[in-house]
A and B are shown apart, each in its own frame.
Chain A
Amino acid sequence: MPTYEELLQEAQSRLLELEGGGKPWIRVGAAVCGEAAGASETLEAIRAELDRRGIDANVSIVGCLGLCYAEPLVDVQKPGGARVFYRNVTPDKAAELVESCVAGDDLRPDMALAYTGRITLDGIPRLDDLPVWNRQVRIALRNCGHIDPLDIYQYIAQGGYAALDKAVNQMQPEDVLKEVQDSGLRGRGGAAFPTGTKWGFLARSPGPVKYILCNCEEGDPGAYNDKGILESDPHSLIEGTILAGYATGSSNGVVFIRHGHEGPIHRTERAIEQAYELGLLGDNILGSDFSFHVEVSLTGESYVAGEETALMESVEGNRAMPRARPPFPAQSGVWGLPSNINNIKSLAYVSEIVSRGGEWFAGIGTEGSKGTAILCLSGNIALPGMVEVPMGMTIREVIDEVVGGVPDGRKAKFLQTGGPLGGVLPADLLDVQLDFAAMAQAGAILGSGGIIVADDRACAVNMTRVLVAFCQYESCGKCFPCRLGMTNLIEIVERICHFESRPGDLELMRVVGQNMAAGSLCGHGQLGWNPVQSAIRYFQEDFTAHMEEGRCPTGQCLSPVFTPQRTRSRWTSAQPLELRF
């Protein structure tokens, strides 16, 4: 097997060939956001036009740069020239782009978004000067949109696997663990538990077989950053996982992805294969004594499968229902063996932390929340996309200054953060900092980083209905307070939407919610009341209008509403739920 120096040399010579080999290099953003905008068709159209003209060019895909509003995003780099990004290159514009920018020498500033490179261009902004880019600090997303996720050498050429080489050949496992502890990194999946502490539990558990589980279930609507990382830079996750394995003395890694998301699944499987081929996975990694194996495990559609104990059930092939704790996963996890569950984003930071040191990472962000926040912004927003900004920035700064604010001169009414269980955050609390504690104090959670912006046309009651419907649909059914409570909540919220509420409905929901919080094994039931609670707390007037005045201020509840439910109780209409003591 090659040494790291040999791999790096090979990677650099391949990159030199791509950049300076005398051929134009065309890259098409092809993560799910690009695909939804038609990237495959654009790629095909570009290839066809190059063929038709007999132009020899390097054409490859890249992942998601995060500027999803500009998808399909295509960039062209001619030998010795700048790398120019073109926005919204739909298939019908592909031929025009090839004609002007590849066959000809017109850089088409009218179609361009930005450029990178050492030379200076007129009429096109530098990527670093774009407001959507210049406030970002990209650590976990460092390679996203820049490298071909199917080519391990492009990852290595960016310094990839250097941290692994340093760790297994120059550092002791406890040194790696110490760097992660010093970094102050906290889990990015939602619970924000200190990663180093969690690893410390596993490191103390007896081996030799121990598991690192990488959680990319990512069922939170509004968040796609885990899948974005796997689609754009899967090796950053693989390297982070191996490092976690080294630091904790583990032997196996499992990347857990929801079935049906072909991009992340295929690219992760390919990345694992390549890492095995080059001796970066398997026995005696990079000539050291350390051996580690990684596989992909797919789960069916189930939101609760993202909960750590339910995830382990799913890996074992069972229904994804949470287990009681203790025993905690570090003692008895998947297959009864010591396990650690980490979010994809948390692991994607690790190689940079090992390379640059925990202290460097701890210098970014706030006192209690180190590093960056990886956010997916969607909804009523001018420039929806995936950004990475330092912790401590306020949500208002992110929305107004980074992603262009609310379009059409409208005002933000509320945000939905941290997945459906996070509830709603009113616009007058937008000055809250991206910080785990500050957000919790405001009654919201940063969660997995999804931020959905709703403008003043949105009805808070109607949004509550959708959030509760989601939670009802996705309750796994194990704990009856959650299973039945969610069904009760959706029935009540639905009748409020239909202006058929009963006196005492708010009180009834509170009682149901408190029972769910007290009697459920996992966060789904424990926090299931949160969407209703936060909406009532901040949008009392919307509820009053529906319940007492029989009107929906925005008109949203007047059109027919669909509420998908997993099970509908059969007695709903005949015998509506009432408060009985």
Chain B
Amino acid sequence: MASGDSLRERIDGALAGQSARTVTVLSSLLAIEDELGYIPPPAIEQVARHTGSTINDVWGVASFYTNFRFTPPGEHVVELCWGPTCHLLGAQQIIQAALQALGLSEEGDTSDGKISLKYNTCLGACSQGPVISVDHKVVGPQSLGITGGDAMSEHVAELVSRLRNGSS
């Protein structure tokens, strides 16, 4: 299968071209995630071969870190911070509004494959809270043109709907 071959080639390319000076199971998995956005099942075996470890070991590492996923992500990845700071500034309302706008009951992918919604324990921009991240870029109220967190939930609902409808 041509598509399977090209996937294998991309994985091999990511493994060979990884920036880490010390190559490990984890560094290899991270390189594949950077390249593809997820860890496809054949990658597990390729990582095992590349690092001289077992498939079992590689699955052990891949299933441990919460950033790894095993199916292709949606077109856009939206992360919602629920850390204590964002919690105080309205994260619960934001999570609720985003889930509602996307018709989801918890974190996951929309059925049309447009959006992957993920909770995050801390996006590291607490002073700008409440924050979310859209395709790995952190977004706070200020960059949405609002002050404070109160209006944020409506804006996030609008933003994810817009992303889903394809006009970002």
Cβ of B40 to closest chain A Cβ, rounded Å = 17
Q: Given the complex of chains A and B, what is the CA–CA distance between A333 and B64 in angstroms?
A: 22
- Given A71-B128, A224-B126, A318-B25, output 15 extra A-B contacts at Cβ < 8 Å: A32-B138, A35-B137, A35-B138, A90-B142, A221-B84, A221-B85, A221-B86, A295-B22, A297-B20, A300-B26, A300-B67, A302-B64, A317-B26, A317-B61, A320-B65
Say yes or no: is A299 at the interface (Cβ < 8 Å to chain B).
Answer: yes
Do A222 and B85 touch (CB < 8 A)?
Answer: yes
> If the complex has contacts A385-B127, A473-B121, A559-B92, are A300 and B65 also in contact, measured as CB distance less than 8 A?
yes
Q: Which of A72, A320, A467 touches B84 (beta carbons < 8 Å)?
A: A467
> If the complex has contacts A317-B24, A562-B95, are A224 and B88 also in contact, measured as CB distance less than 8 A?
no
Chain B residues within 8 Å of chain A by Cβ, number: 53
Say yes or no: is B51 at the interface (Cβ < 8 Å to chain A).
Answer: yes
Say yes or no: is A316 at the interface (Cβ < 8 Å to chain B).
Answer: yes
Residues of chain A within 8 A (CB-CB) of B82 are 466, 469, 562, 564
Say yes or no: is B103 at the interface (Cβ < 8 Å to chain A).
Answer: no
12 inter-chain pairs at a CB distance below 8 angstroms, sorted by A residue, are: A35-B138, A36-B125, A71-B128, A222-B126, A224-B125, A377-B127, A378-B126, A463-B87, A466-B87, A470-B84, A470-B121, A564-B119
Say yes or no: is B12 at the interface (Cβ < 8 Å to chain A).
Answer: no
- Which A residues have a C-beta under 8 Å from some C-beta of B? 32-33, 35-38, 41, 68-69, 71-72, 88, 90, 218-224, 227, 259-262, 269, 295-303, 314-320, 376-380, 384-386, 416, 420, 450, 452, 454, 458, 462-463, 466-467, 469-470, 473-474, 476, 559-562, 564, 566
Residues of chain A within 8 A (CB-CB) of B93 are 559
User: Which 5 A-B residue pairs are closest in the complex by CB-CB distance?
Assistant: A317-B24, A300-B65, A221-B83, A68-B127, A38-B143
Do A33 and B127 touch (CB < 8 A)?
Answer: yes
Q: Which of A221, A317, A420, A566 touches B126 (beta carbons < 8 Å)?
A: A221
* Chain B residue, CB-CB nearest to A37: B142
Do A259 and B84 touch (CB < 8 A)?
Answer: no
> If the complex has contacts A297-B20, A452-B88, are A562 and B96 also in contact, measured as CB distance less than 8 A?
yes
Do A470 and B83 touch (CB < 8 A)?
Answer: yes
Cβ of B116 to closest chain A Cβ, rounded Å = 14
Do B128 and A37 touch (CB < 8 A)?
Answer: yes
Residues of chain A within 8 A (CB-CB) of B143 are 36-38, 41, 90
Say yes or no: is B122 at the interface (Cβ < 8 Å to chain A).
Answer: yes
The 0/1 profile, CB within 8 Å of A marked 1, for residues 64-100 of chain B is: 1111100000000000001111111100110110000
Do B127 and A384 touch (CB < 8 A)?
Answer: yes
Q: Given the complex of chains A and B, what is the CA–CA distance between A227 and B96 in angstroms?
A: 29
Residues of chain B within 8 A (CB-CB) of A377 are 127
Q: Given the complex of chains A and B, what is the CA–CA distance between A376 and B162 in angstroms?
A: 33
